[in-house]
């Protein structure tokens, strides 16, 4: 699934830390989408590995009722002044609970 993410990062140059919070949405070939929120637990020291805490906020179509929590260990692929492309590994769990109306 391909996706797009928007996030804000606060950098403290004196303390040499960063803190990030963002949201993503992904769509499969059928057009069904999933929605994600991710954040650092707090300020992270620059130069140390960053691990994000993420959670599924829901979805559309076959992903309706999606929930769960996970860790994201990112790997940057391309970084410029205006763009960050990346990939990562999500480890955690999820469930899909259909609403009673959707089950009919």
Residue 67 lies in a domain: yes
Residue 103 lies in a domain: no
Residue 42 lies in a domain: yes
- Total domain count for the chain? 1
Range of the domain at 47: 2-96
Residue 39 lies in a domain: yes
- Local mean pLDDT, 10-residue blocks, the chain (104 residues): 89 90 96 96 84 96 96 78 76 89 58
Residue 104 lies in a domain: no
**At 67, phi and psi to the nearest 5?**
-150, 165
Q: Distance between CA 104 and CA 94 in Å, rounded? A: 23
Q: Distance between CA 12 and CA 104 in Å, rounded? A: 52
Kind and range of the H or E run holding 8: strand 2-12
Residue 34 lies in a domain: yes
- The contacts of residue 75 (CB under 8 Å, 6+ apart) are 86, 87, 88, 89
């Amino acid at each position: 699934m391909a996706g797009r993410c928007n996030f804000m990062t606060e950098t403290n140059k004196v303390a040499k830390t960063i803190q990030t919070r963002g949201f993503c949405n992904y769509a499969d070939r059928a057009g069904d989408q999933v929605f994600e929120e991710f954040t650092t637990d707090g300020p992270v020291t620059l130069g140390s590995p960053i691990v994000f805490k993420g959670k599924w906020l829901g979805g559309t179509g076959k992903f309706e009722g999606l929930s769960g929590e996970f860790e994201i260990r990112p790997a940057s692929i391309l970084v410029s002044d205006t763009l960050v492309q990346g990939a990562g590994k999500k480890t955690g769990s999820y469930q899909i609970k259909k609403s009673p109306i959707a089950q009919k």
